[in-house]
Structure 1
Amino acid sequence: MKLTKDSISPYIIGTMRLGTWGSNLNTTEYERFIEGCLDLDLIDFDHADIYGHYTTEDDFGNVLKSRKDLRKKMRITTKCGIKLISENRPEHKIKSYDLSADHIITSVEKSLASLQTDYIDVLLLHRPDYLFDPHEIAAAFSKLKKEGKVLDFGVSNFSPSQFDLLHSLTPLVTNQVEISLLHRNAFEDGTLDQCQKLNVIPTAWSPLGGGLLFKEGADEKIQAIQKTLSTLAEKYSATSDQILYAWLRKHPSGIIPVLGTSKIERIQIAKQALDITLTHEEWYMLWEAALGREID
């Protein structure tokens, strides 16, 4: 199924910080969190094999093992291609990227077992491997799709040229890249232009700039952004993070933010931001504040 603005949740639930890399939820807390997201009609969950040093997929899968009814209510994205040095992968001698067919297929098999599922809705290649062979990847994708183990494929952190190279051989449904008011490359390097041209939905990791925009005593540049956020938040009776989500979603490519929180109340606040529509000038007010000057 091709992902569209109508078929995908308005937010994707990121799992990176649910486990040992963050909140360290236990199985009961995972279950409560998953149900809370589903109750908000947010059904897309974003994983990667490396999260929690290769443990977070297992943690999530422990819920699905006992609550098989939940799997059909959600969509699962996971990523592969980064090889971390970890006691859980003692065969990895250095940190590297590997998009060989063997590594992709082996990673998928491990993710399926960890997540306690028969299929992955969307598989993303986590980082571009400088040695990647697009024909080899296309063949691996074809095999996984034919076997019913992966329904759709995409990439993460790929440049427009890398995306175009692989997409020319096998259909990709998304490019997940860092996009925020503090990281605006995708607006200028052709990433979002390409998404619009190909009708591909971009997804944004770290959409709030890693929390830097909410720190007290920040430098003058951040303070300028905070001042503009405060002005708009007052106008819309909103929070600063809601304004930031509205800023991303204003773009016509249909950017879908990946939420990195483990708190349901923060996810509820994010969903309320769907009711905020910034004006054209307000969007540029924030751009100007982040740029630190009037646009050219």
Structure 2
Amino acid sequence: MILQPNSVIPLAGLVIDLFCTSMIDVGNELGVPSYLFFTSSAGFLGLMLSLPKRHDEVGTEFNDSDPDSIIPSFVNPVPVNVMPGFVFNKEGSYISMVNHGRRFKDVKGILANTFQDLEPHALSSLLGQDGVPSIYTVGPLINHKDDGNHQYDHIMTWLDDQPNSSVVFLCFGSGGSFSGPQLKEIALGLEQSEVRFLWSIRIPTPTSGPSEDVDYKEVLPEGFLERNKKTEGFISGWTPQVKILAHKAIGGFVSHCGWNSILESIWFGVPIVTWPLYAEQQVNAFEMAKELGLAVEMKLDYRSGGDREIVESR
């Protein structure tokens, strides 16, 4: 279609994300339908839709001592320790998410970044729920485009020299990072395993997001950098995750279980080892390991920050 100068295209509808449900009212005032673009799993979507009913019955946030929850989008009862952190929050995020979940039923349709063969139970459970809008599966949405950035060619060159399916890739997302003591334990575990590895290391900072400005000699065990050459390990800061998962040398992925990372690993057939950190990653890891059998559990209930226990190398 070729648009003419000063042509007017009538507004057909609004597409909103899960945090912008107040825009539904704007759509109503304009007389156009609203659609929710849900970027996580159908399992988590079902959890969000179940929150208002639970809140109406219980009237309060979750507690660490709560029993397992029956959520229609999951085959198995969901343990409280894999629930998203916001469900325990007394300072506002819990009730905010309850309210968002309540408004989900006010949209005309939900565009979900998933597909039928991946989450058949979750999707069928949503179709059978009273008041749930039409679900349109539009996934997996993965950016395969090469942006032409050659800054990380050295990583790809190193991977080219490794045998097929021989490298474990450790990467924890744009917001994922570990403290010094935890990094040391990861290093010791890799060294003891004697596997080839590609490890994206970023450290937390007091005032901003994770930093790639890392002195590896300060945060890793003494002599590790020299010794890991024998196991043919490669350490980097930020890494081009999609390009790496697509490489024939990658044989496993230790992941924070963000939904985009899960879809990318499934697309390229790379097995996942679960190490969730925050947001809905714990319930994603539960779904992958316990519901679908598509991941190996290392941790399901780990949460970053605070006084979390150190995951030891042995």
User: What TM-score do the two structures reach when normalised by structure 1?
Assistant: 0.27
| Structure-2-length-normalised TM-score | 0.26
Structure with bigger helix share is: 1
